[in-house]
Chains A and B, each alone.
Chain A
Amino acid sequence: MSKVTIPIGPQHPALKEPARFCLTLNGEKIYEIDLRLGYNHRGIEKACEERTYIQAMYLVERVCGICSHSHSTAFIQAVEEIAGLQLPRRGLYIRTLIAELERIHSHLLWLGVAGHEVGFDTLLMYAWRDRELVMDILADLTGNRVNYGINTIGGVRRDVTPRQIERVTKAMDTFEERTKYYVQVATEESTLIARLSNVGKLCYDDAMRLGAIGPTARACGLERDARKADPYGLYGELDFKVITDKHSDVYGRAVVRLLELMESYRIIRQLCKGMPEGPIAVKAPRKIPAGEALSRYEAPRGEDVHYVRGNGTDKPERVKIRAPTLANLQAVAKMLEDNYLADTTIVIAAIDPCFSCTDRAVLLKKSRRRNEEPVLWNSLRDYGIAWHRKQGLDFGDMNRRFGRMMERSSR
């Protein structure tokens, strides 16, 4: 049978982010993979060199729309090491609390996406319903659903109240109950097991050789978790298990993430219970001394690695960021080899490649001292149009022409 090459991406409905997988097929099976990345390269490392540490922190937070806290924490951990800052305990507790809430948000998001990719949209609806709960908690604690902006060099920017802690603890009961149900679905629902088992196989040795990380590696029985191996923040004092699985396929990756959710709930309970009183941040100098540091952080998708070099000024000399997807994409090529073309989307989705989810309706309030009034959608739209017009961009004319064109074609 002659070989056929099918390009998937850079823009493709099955991919949430631009990347090009050129698949050469032998019948229905994938024979060869050619991977092209870099479509989302925004030059953030270079941009950091032109910004102060605080500005760079907010920029780094925007490396990813979902693991935003992961990247900003990984970055400032390195900066804090160079500056020799000792963080107050309460600050560390809050930072770790947000980190684990972010993991819940990311894993539930993945569960929904995975359900959708295999045509199990009920799971998508359930998982994303629950994800809303954690998004609400994050918005309650930080003011934002994503890109929380809670970190600052030397600690965190916002304190939490006892009422908020109570709400978080209470929500964990709901999460635990619902996650138990998902674990039951994953281990008992035969269609789901049949669809995910033996898909995207990656053996222990290949995971090790290709540098797979995060749940992708742990589902191959590889115990790699920076929280345990190289503890940062509070993780050295917390009681939690590193979840591994021996299935080495997409099914194993789902099981690992679900059980990791249960561990995150345990961690959050410990944090809420043991939260000490005290300050939440120490004052950090504007100029960071010359020096370098390497920081590791276990993000929901795998390990974030940040290297920072300071030169004694208020701007970093070099910032290097290694996000988990880059490490895991090397393993994807191996997973796809000799697999069916129809499995491509779930295999790619199973490493949880990163995409932004910042689009969402918000309730904006016009503040007139204490008399707050909601901004209506139409007035927000008008404000947007007027703002763009002020910048010299007027889409009105184009819209009118488009309207006339549509009218003509419908006649």
Chain B
Amino acid sequence: MMWTEEKIQQELTGKFAFLDGKIKLQRPRRLWVDAPAEHFDAIFSHLVRQMDFPVLLTITGLDETSQFCVIYHLAQLEGIVCNLKVVVPKDNPTWKSVGTFFPGGIIYERELVDLLGLKIEGLPPGNRYPLPDDWPDGQFPLRKDWKRGGEAAIKEKAS
């Protein structure tokens, strides 16, 4: 099936009625979808398995002060990109891994863990990425309230 931006929007709202009004076509080949956290699995799996989105370009994590936002940049080989956004609360920053769909995407999830301090359930054991092994616990550089130099003071104190 040859997908167009309109067909993708129709398919998504047809299958998931609650997405009505939550899909934005910013420009040709760029769709932005706000996914409710409780329905994320179903939408993600439908996009990958039924709607020919076999590519995960990357995962972006954002600190929006009151909450975290995780964006999955999914792409079709023909070029359409679906940016699937999901909100993760600050008081319980736990989210799940999509490693079963994209084993190559695990490295992007490790970035979320190291840089934003999200807990990703289902992440296989392995080396951290990208911060050094002696980086102090609880220091997450991409959080907006993080200040540069804090980690150096902690390291010095520990040594």
Contact = CB atoms under 8 A, between A and B. Distances in A.
A17 interface: no
**Secondary structure dominating the interface of A:** mixed
Interface stretch (B7-15, B37-45, B98-106): B98-106
Nearest to B141: A46
B77 interface: yes
B130 interface: yes
Interface residues of A, number: 38
Contact of A211 (B60, B81, B104, B130): B104
B87 interface: no
Contacts, number: 84
A63 to B, nearest CB: 13
B129 A322 contact: no
Contact of B103 (A34, A210, A326): A210
A13 interface: no
A309 interface: yes
A209 B132 contact: no
Contacts of B107: 37, 326, 329-330
A227 B26 CA distance: 20
Interface string A206-230: 0011111000000000011010011
Contact of A309 (B30, B57, B62): B62
B102 A211 contact: yes
A176 interface: no
A305 interface: yes
A103 to B, nearest CB: 20
Interface string B117-139: 00000000001111110000000
Given A294-B30, A305-B57, A320-B61, 14 more contacts: A35-B127, A36-B129, A37-B127, A211-B105, A223-B77, A224-B77, A230-B29, A293-B30, A294-B81, A305-B73, A307-B71, A307-B73, A317-B62, A330-B107
10 contacts: A41-B131, A81-B27, A224-B55, A230-B75, A293-B30, A294-B83, A296-B81, A318-B142, A322-B108, A330-B103
